[in-house]
Amino acid sequence: MPTTTETRPLLAAAWMMGAVAAFTLMAVAGRMVSHELDTFEILAWRSLIGVAIIAATLTLRGGRGAVNLRRPGLHLTRNLTHFVAQNLWFHALFTIPLAQVFALEFTAPLWVLILAPLLLAERLTRARALSAGLGFLGILLIVQPGAAGVSAGVAAAALAAVGFAVTYICTKKLTAVAEASCILWWMSVMQSLMGLACAGVDGRVALPSAAAAPWVAVLGATGLGAHFCIAKALRLAPATLVMPFDFLRLPVIAVVGLLLYGEPVGLALVAGSALILAGNYINIRAADLPGRARPA
């Protein structure tokens, strides 16, 4: 790991840019297979592909010794929470516009800001509290719960964000005792078992068709790639500094939704997203102020 404080946030930001690209491609791939696979089947096949990729990578690189099962309870908590959150996320992806899914998902870093002092012993400063407050105001603008009620897709995306925040915090704690490859291995193994168990409740697990199979492969690769990038970033900087970089997904997915699916970008979404980005900017500037102690 780098030893200078100047390089750590820059490297963490670079890893998060990889996560942004991976999550965006994963959303498109999820839309492409939604007509023939349910969320449990998507997660099952994606995780099985992940198991194969990680096993091959560890074998070729001689990294099997990095896989251990320290803190098994924390691994289980992380992966069960992430499994539920991913199912909610894919459900929202199939039912509401892409930009709205991602905007609601962006409450995850705000939940990290709130939960990190309790679970990671990271300090919640006034600036970070203001950041979270602006972000939640932005979410209220986007969702507008009093205007026409809250749909199932909107509720799913909002709840998924809470689950992702807990996942990020568990990942941060696991990076103290496990390599990124180890975290990804147990994520893929545990979630493939969870996915197959849930998908098989009705007595059948659908196989991807020839047309859907390449997109399922993309889901597997991007799912691993995104989490690998996040795990690497969280080893280089605090969770409250790393995760706000994920907000760059919003303008990217808004353009993708407009070009591929004709999904308009309304004024409420733009204004709400601006508030979220303002909160993000305040959080980053506060972390970079000279003399300001950074959480470990």
Structural domain boundaries in the chain: 7-288
Predicted TM-score (pTM) of the model is 0.81
pLDDT at position 293 over 50: no
Question: Token pair of 193, please?
Answer: 């078992």
Question: Cα 85 vs. chain centroid, distance in angstroms?
Answer: 9
What proportion of the chain, given as a percentage, has pLDDT over 90? 35
What proportion of the chain, given as a percentage, has pLDDT over 70? 90
pLDDT tens digits, one per residue of 3-48: 334 447 888 888 988 998 998 999 999 999 999 999 999 999 999 9
Q: Say if residues 196 and 205 touch (Cβ distance below 8 Å).
A: yes
pLDDT tens digits, one per residue of 100-148: 888 888 778 778 878 878 777 777 778 888 888 888 888 888 777 665 5
- Winning range, highest mean pLDDT, from 18-22, 180-184, 251-255: 18-22
Report the pLDDT value the prediction gives residue 64, as an integer from 0 to 100: 77
Mean pLDDT along residues 47-64: 88
Report the pLDDT value the prediction gives residue 5, as an integer from 0 to 100: 41
Pick the more confident residue, 248 or 239. Answer: 248
Mean pLDDT along residues 65-69: 83
pLDDT category, 75, cuts 50, 70, 90? very high
Reduced 3-state DSSP string for the chain: CCCCCCHHHHHHHHHHHHHHHHHHHHHHHHHHHCCCCCHHHHHHHHHHHHHHHHHHHHHHHCCHHHCCCCCHHHHHHHHHHHHHHHHHHHHHHHHCCHHHHHHHHCHHHHHHHHHHHHHCCCCCCHHHHHHHHHHHHHHHHHHCHHHHCCCHHHHHHHHHHHHHHHHHHHHHHHCCCCCHHHHHHHHHHHHHHHHHHHHHHHCCCCCCCCCCHHHHHHHHHHHHHHHHHHHHHHHHCCHHHHHHHHHHHHHHHHHHHHHHHCCCCCHHHHHHHHHHHHHHHHHHHHHHCCCCCCCC
pLDDT at position 2 over 70: no
Residue 245 Cα distances to 115, 136, 221, angstroms: 18, 17, 21
Q: Say if residues 37 and 206 touch (Cβ distance below 8 Å).
A: yes
**CB neighbour class for 32 (10 Å; exposed up to 12, middle 13-18, buried from 19):** middle
User: 140-149, 223-232, 235-244: which range is least confident on average?
Assistant: 140-149
Report the pLDDT value the prediction gives residue 296, as an integer from 0 to 100: 31
User: 139-148, 191-200, 281-290: which range is least confident on average?
Assistant: 281-290
pLDDT category, 288, cuts 50, 70, 90? low
Report the pLDDT value the prediction gives residue 48, as an integer from 0 to 100: 93
Report the pLDDT value the prediction gives residue 146, as an integer from 0 to 100: 61
Report the pLDDT value the prediction gives residue 291, as an integer from 0 to 100: 42
Q: Say if residues 30 and 93 touch (Cβ distance below 8 Å).
A: yes
Mean pLDDT along residues 162-172: 90
- Tell me the average pLDDT of the chain: 83
Report the pLDDT value the prediction gives residue 149, as an integer from 0 to 100: 64
pLDDT at position 240 over 70: no
Report the pLDDT value the prediction gives residue 163, as an integer from 0 to 100: 94
